[in-house]
Structure 1
Amino acid sequence: MLTLWGRENSSNVKKVRWLAAELGLSYQHIPAGGQFGRNREADYLTMNPNVLIPCLQDDDLVLWESNTIVRCLADHGQRTNAEKWMDWEISLAVPFGTVFIGLVRTAPEQRDVSLIAKQKAECERLLAIADDALIRQPWLSGPAFGIGDIPLGCIAYCWFNMDIERPSLPHLERWY
């Protein structure tokens, strides 16, 4: 039986849960990390000495790192092109994290407006790359939805739901 450790509101756990749902996989979910704790307890540290979430346990196989877990669960046939987009999302995660935390989790009077604007511009530049790729194919993974779409999907959800001005990216908007 697959067991997934991690809190549902973690973007890294969302990646794994999303693909598991797409594949129709059943698994046991154990809330861990953040307000749930557990990730510093001895049994968890034995599985994942990194303390981070998610962690996937399948009998004797234990995996951490969300992209590794997604790759493990995915159909190997779609991986080459899709993995490129999975790893590319990492370059977007840093500037996006600055924008998201700065605008959503930081009080207005404590915001570094200049830094947020700089990182937002970097997000726009990177998202334009995905928009351009989506001119030629319906999904980042290729002709069908796949693992390459999941990491950016988590960021796109927040990007398109934040109360900000953003440039029109029609292919990315259609994809989203």
Structure 2
Amino acid sequence: MLKILGRASSVNVRKVLWLCEELAIPFRREDWGEGFTSTHSPAFMALNPNAQIPVIIEGDFVLWESNAILRYLASAWEGDWLYPQNARARALIDQWMDWQSTELNTSWRYAFMSLVRNSPAHQDPRLLAAACKGWSHTMGILNQQLAKTGRYVAGRNFTLADIPVGLAVNRWYETPLDHPDYPAVRTYYERLTERHGYTLWGRNGTP
């Protein structure tokens, strides 16, 4: 059985849990793993030297980096309907997954740490205002894309890209800041909520 290491409140762990729901993958989740209690323990860092979650274990196979895990599981568990073999269709999915992990994540980090995590190191009003503006800008890019496709981030069908992007949208709405009126993003948020996996691991009150 697939073992998933990482706390269920982590947005990156929730990516994997949502995909498991979509593909009916049986799994066992552990906060850090048997025999160790921290990502910085030697036992955990032997699995992932970056000391980050999630990590998956299947027999003697170990994999880290959440988006790499999504791609692997979709390929290994008959998830072609989420991550098709067609090179151009797959490239568009990868494009938006990579955009989420780079541009979008970078834009929200300071504001999220300030407004949700209440980090003392992220309370500079000037930097917070700039971060909120930058986050709004990247969400505006997403709004344009969703208005263009009319449905999901990589086209008309739900794909693997909608899992990381959908969780990022939930984080946007769960963070207490002024949200510009992005109708396509709001409609997308409601559409994703029709999926059981999203109500379990995405729009569940956890940013």
Normalising by structure 2, report the TM-score.
Answer: 0.76
Distance 1:70 1:10 in 2: 15
Aligned-CA RMSD value = 2.1
Distance 2:115 2:40 in 1: 30
Is it true that 1:159 corresponds to 2:172 in the alignment? yes
Is it true that 1:87 corresponds to 2:63 in the alignment? no
> Is residue 79–residue 147 contact of structure 1 (8 Å, CA) maintained in 2?
no
2:5 corresponding residue in structure 1: 5
| Structure 2 residues not aligned, in runs of 5+ | 190-207
2:31 corresponding residue in structure 1: 31
Distance 1:111 1:44 in 2: 32
Deviation of 1:70 after TM superposition, in Å, equals: 0.7
String of CA shifts for 1:18-64, please: whole Å, max 9, x gaps.
1111111111111129xx83433444333222221110111122100
CA spacing shift, 1:50–1:107, aligned 2, 3 Å: closer
Which residues in structure 2 correspond to 1:89-168 (within 5 Å)? 89=100, 90-106=102-118, 111-137=123-149, 138-168=151-181
Aligned amino acid, residue 70 of structure 2: V
1:172 corresponding residue in structure 2: 185
| Structure 1 residues not aligned, in runs of 5+ | none
1:73 corresponding residue in structure 2: 73
- Give runs of ≥4 in structure 1 deviating > 4 Å: none
> Is residue 113–residue 119 contact of structure 2 (8 Å, CA) maintained in 1?
no
- Per the alignment, in what secondary structure is the counterpart of residue 91 of structure 1? helix
CA spacing shift, 1:143–1:49, aligned 2, 3 Å: same
Aligned amino acid, residue 172 of structure 1: V
- Per the alignment, in what secondary structure is the counterpart of residue 116 of structure 2? helix
Normalising by structure 1, report the TM-score.
Answer: 0.89
2:199 corresponding residue in structure 1: none
Q: Percent identity?
A: 33
- Per the alignment, in what secondary structure is the counterpart of residue 63 of structure 2? strand
